[in-house]
Amino acid sequence: MKFRALAIVVLVLVSCASARADDALPSWNDGPAKQGILAFVARVTKADGPDYVKPEERIAVFDNDGTLWTEWPLYTQAVFALDRVKELAPKHPEWRKRQPFKAALSGDVKTLAESGAKGLNEIVGATHAGETPEEFQAQVSQWLATAEHPKFKAHYDRLVYQPMLELLAYLRANGFKTFIVSGGGLEFMRAFAERVYGVPPEQIVGSSIVTKYEVRDGKPALKREAKVAFIDDKAGKPVGINQFIGRRPIAAFGNSDGDFQMLEWTTAGAGPRFGLIVHHDDAAREAAYDRGSPVGRLERGLDEAGKRGWALVSMKNDWKTVFPPQR
- Looking at the predicted structure, is the pLDDT value of residue 117 above 90? no
Spatial neighbors of 104 by CB under 8 A, at least 6 apart, are: 82, 85, 86, 95, 112, 123
Residue 327's pLDDT is 65
Q: How does pLDDT run across 293-306, given as a tens digit for each residue? A: 989 999 999 999 99
Domains along the chain with CATH numbers: 27-44+52-73+152-208+229-318 (3.40.50.1000), 76-146 (no CATH)
Residues 235, 238, 244, CA angle at the centre, nearest 5°? 130
Q: Please give the Cα distance from 129 to 235 (Å, whole number).
A: 25
Q: Please give the Cα distance from 221 to 215 (Å, whole number).
A: 6
Residue 7's pLDDT is 39
The whole-model pTM stands at 0.91
Q: Is residue 167 within a helix (H) or strand (E), and if so which, with residue range?
A: helix 162-173
Confidence at 279, pLDDT banded by 50, 70, 90: very high
- Looking at the predicted structure, is the pLDDT value of residue 1 above 90? no
The one-letter amino acid code at 161 reads Y
Q: How does pLDDT run across 185-243, given as a tens digit for each residue? A: 999 999 999 999 999 999 999 999 999 999 999 999 999 999 999 999 999 999 999 99
- Looking at the predicted structure, is the pLDDT value of residue 19 above 80? no
> Which stretches does DSSP call E strand in 231-273?
251-254
Q: Please give the Cα distance from 261 to 108 (Å, whole number).
A: 33
The one-letter amino acid code at 29 reads N
